[in-house]
């Protein structure tokens, strides 16, 4: 099975590298010609943990959507705010059996995929795999939490189970789930409780658990997010959500979160798809405040 990964950020490059080394032909699709050329020419250096020895992984990378025609799986790893723009021009080029899997942060991505390719081919998922670029330009594989995969339309069928086996055999362990929308909400609740605090206080994930005041702030955000979920008809157990939050933080303790990486690099963050989305569904005053504070860190103020 050929795979296309859309979005060569840290997570996209990690997924592409793992699957390529696991025997699946992978093509990265990038919108920046100079970066695509560099990845195609040099590959990337992948480090297992901050102290690991870097190895070079060669990757096929292109800016031309025509080069991904015929793939069996598209993995969306762009920022949430770019989902529609990234997928729109590709949908017509994908074969009728090609599956599109979003592992992005935030709420609303699966709905965009469904609109583009239909619910039968739309997959949602979450991942506890974590990665970031270090100051020497190497990709650090910093977290190894579970990756979950589910269909937009109904429980896992034979095709989805076969896909999970293929990805697991290629080195990316995947757990099929029956209710992917519930899984996506759990992920959003956890991400909205943790990521903005790492960005605002410039701390690693592990410091959220280590510092009592940040731990309390994360749990207050989580409680408010659970209230929003309940008003949307999703009864998420606090114990499960808390366990997921601190499991994810523990598994990626040394990791610099994607939102912190964006702030440090002067990029727009995904706060609108997380805290902003919860605030719009609200009332959620804590998330509204956190979203406003993170927006103030964006380049040129509020985008």
Which residue, 210, 208, 197, 190, is CA-closest to 259? 197
CA distance 276 to 289: 9
Q: Is 53 among the residues known to form the active site?
A: no
Which residue, 204, 197, 184, is CA-closest to 250? 204
Per DSSP bridges, beta strands 174-176 and 139-151 are parallel
Per DSSP bridges, beta strands 99-102 and 73-76 are parallel
Per DSSP bridges, beta strands 44-48 and 55-57 are antiparallel
Burial of 212 (0-12, 13-18, 19+ CB in 10 A): exposed
The C-alpha torsion from 226 through 229 and 231 to 233, rounded to 10°, is -130
SS3 234: coil
Q: Which one from 53, 58, 79, 187 is the annotated catalytic residue?
A: 187
CA distance 225 to 168: 32
C-alpha dist (Å) from residue 53 to 50, 58, 91, 124 = 9, 16, 39, 33
Q: What's the sign of the alpha-carbon dihedral 148, 43, 81, 93?
A: negative
Q: Which residues are catalytic?
A: 187
């Amino acid at each position: 099975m050929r795979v296309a990964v859309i979005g060569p950020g840290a997570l996209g490059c990690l997924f592409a590298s793992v699957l390529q080394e696991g025997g699946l032909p992978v093509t990265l699709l990038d919108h920046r010609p100079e970066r695509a050329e560099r990845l195609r020419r040099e590959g990337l250096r992948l480090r297992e943990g901050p102290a690991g020895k870097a190895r070079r992984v060669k990757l096929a990378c292109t800016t031309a959507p025509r080069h991904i025609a015929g793939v069996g799986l598209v993995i969306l790893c762009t920022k949430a705010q770019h989902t529609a723009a990234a997928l729109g021009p590709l949908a017509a080029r994908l074969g009728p059996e090609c599956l599109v899997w979003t592992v992005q942060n935030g709420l609303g991505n699966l709905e965009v995929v469904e609109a583009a390719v239909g619910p039968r081919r739309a997959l949602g998922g979450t991942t506890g795999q974590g990665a970031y670029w270090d100051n020497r330009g190497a990709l650090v594989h910093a977290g190894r939490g579970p990756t979950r995969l589910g269909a937009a339309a109904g429980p896992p069928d034979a095709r989805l189970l076969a896909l999970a086996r293929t990805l697991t055999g290629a080195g990316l362990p995947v757990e099929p789930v029956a209710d992917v929308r519930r899984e996506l909400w759990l992920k959003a609740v956890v991400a909205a409780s943790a990521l903005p605090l790492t960005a605002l206080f410039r701390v690693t994930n592990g410091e959220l658990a280590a510092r009592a005041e940040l731990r309390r702030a994360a749990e207050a955000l989580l409680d408010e997010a659970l209230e929003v979920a309940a008003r949307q008809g999703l009864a998420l157990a606090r114990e499960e959500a808390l366990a997921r939050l601190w499991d994810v933080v523990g598994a990626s303790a040394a990791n610099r979160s994607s939102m912190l990486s964006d702030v440090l690099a002067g990029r727009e963050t995904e706060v609108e798809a997380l805290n902003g989305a919860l605030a719009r569904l609200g009332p959620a005053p804590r998330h509204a405040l956190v979203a406003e504070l993170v927006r103030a860190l964006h380049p040129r103020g509020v985008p």
